[in-house]
Chains A and B, each alone.
Chain A
Amino acid sequence: MNLTSLVFLLFCIIALGIYFIVPKKFQWFILLISSIIFLFWNNLSVSTVIQALLVLLASYIFGILIDKYRDNTVKSKIFLVIGIAIILGQLICLKYTNLFSITINHILQLLHIDFQLGLSYFNSLVGISYYSLIMISYLVDIYRGACKSQKNIFKCALFMSYFPILTSGPFIRYNDIEKDLYGKHKFNYDSMCRGLVRTIWGVFKVLVISQRLGMFVDTVYGDLATYTGFYTVVAALFFPLQLYTNFSGSIDIIMGISEIIGIHLPENFTAPFFSKTLTEFWRNWHITLGAWLRDYIFYPLLKSNAMQNLTKKTKKIFGKKASKKISLYLSMLIMWTIIGAWHGGAYTFIIGSGLLQFLIMVLEDTLEPLSNKINNKLGIKKDVFSYKLYQIIRTYLLFSFTMIFFRASSVGNAVEIIKNMFVWNPWVLLDNKSIFTAGLDIQDFRVLIISLITLFAVDKLSRSGSVREKLFKQNIIFRWGMLYILIFAIIILGCYGVGYDPAAFIYRQF
């Protein structure tokens, strides 16, 4: 179910309506039913039911076992490992087998061996990349003593499948959400208003901005022969915004709905494009993914005996500072490869949202002392607006570059796109005509500019406190006015519905 579809709107109205009508002790059960419906919507089959049950039973059973044998480190560790292996195993089988096959096929081709593995496509459930990691974190948290296992299998199922999270996250921790998820919630008018405002803002970002940007990006990337040079550059610069508005807009919808219910979820985005370095960027973009990887991969890795021994050994050869960096970079490499792979089972994701990010951040780290020296020598000040602006733009450009790989259909396609950018055709931007022929006309651009400025303003404001709170302090005419403008912007300017221009009808022959 698409978060911005009419079906989903209807679904939420019904689900939330029932939620607040039933006796409060059944509320969590209503959430469970809704989540099951959402999970299997248009996707109910023997294979998908088995997939879901597998993860649920593994998490539920091993969760209880780890909890029970908490005092016996050997036993509880074994249960932890088996549980994780099952969940991870199904994730890899369903999402990554083709990656392995493709890789092996490449190798076979290189070795001139005349054999190719076949590719298979499994129908996996919506949210598999989210709930798999969430349930792994559940098991690990039980093992670490951060939380207790859930003894009620239905409540466990709800934690695994809480429907708003299935499409886009955020990653939740059992400890943080337990009370809200199973708790009793009285309908709160203020929460509803605030939640609705956030949801509407999210829908605006997706339908008015993201879809619109997508029309340009898709047109340019879909026809590399026609659209070269500055077309490609603009598309590459548009794409991160398209991704951001789509992703954060979806998160806003998810958070808004949860807020109406009374469930508090962790934030995923805090105005990331105001970051001055890529390192800072990833502290503000997809925050819960970074937190998951930090707590369950990065820290355990860094703290592991293997890594500590490596540090000791390299300390003797390269010195203290260098040895710390080596362990750090090695752990980061592993972490970012996983992050890249999490985004998708293809090399474009591993490179674009993984290795390239790692590379740039390592460069940022290693070049920092050098850049400081140069700045000092040249008298360049770092705490002035102009320098910060340069840093922000530089970060955006770097991120856009990595996203070329992320968006491309293959590594070869990404290289082609980059090559395409080196065609010199600045008139495309200046002749007041050409840029409006790549999927968006001049009116679309006007809408884009105004909405991007609005987005920019709201994000900038958000860094100094909740924008919604500021809105709710204003007078009712202003509040309602802003809301009506947003709603009608979505209804009139949103990119939804039948895909083509009705004005084409005018030119038909009869």
Chain B
Amino acid sequence: MNSHTISLYAAAIRHAILDHEADIECLDREIGDGDHYINMKRGCEVIASMTDELTALSAADALNKIGMKLLSTIGGASGPLFASFFMSMSKTLKGSETLNTLQMALAFEAGVQAIMQRGKAQAGEKTMLDVLIPVANTFKQMAEQDKSSQEIATALKQVASTGLESTRNMLATKGRASGLGERAIGHLDAGAKSCEVMIHAVCDAVLIS
């Protein structure tokens, strides 16, 4: 992977988020406060507008630039969380030119850990982490076993969907839905949904290539 592929994935993510406007917005209206889709869209649009700038950079610098831009553009909880994710990935990859699958998996894991730290959250709290943590674990395991990109992408899509579905019966203990108690049970988490959408988008891009 290099900064060119990062830009391609960013474009795929933007398409996927725009395509899922109705789903994401509906979930956020049920147990959130209605701004999640708008914030995700704003983040996707600003990264899409940076393609030329990003492809001129190394992968690590491009990821850092994405993080800084998201931090000053998205706001809300998503801004610092996604910013921490990309900035931490960047730190892990500093100095590497083209990246192999295991490096990517380790960087992804570091990014997810940065989200956990920033949000003081773990798995099982009805958040995006219920998608991201299992994806990071599977990604790393399969990369260590030298599985092909195709195999990994197929598996991660499945893991992301299972993770999303797992939020349905969880009590929310972090985020805006955390004030709802039992009322949040039975609803999927909107942040988990947008992460599932993004992971599917990147995996589909890998599968097509």
Asked if A pairs with B, the answer is no
B interface residue numbers (CB < 8 A to A): none
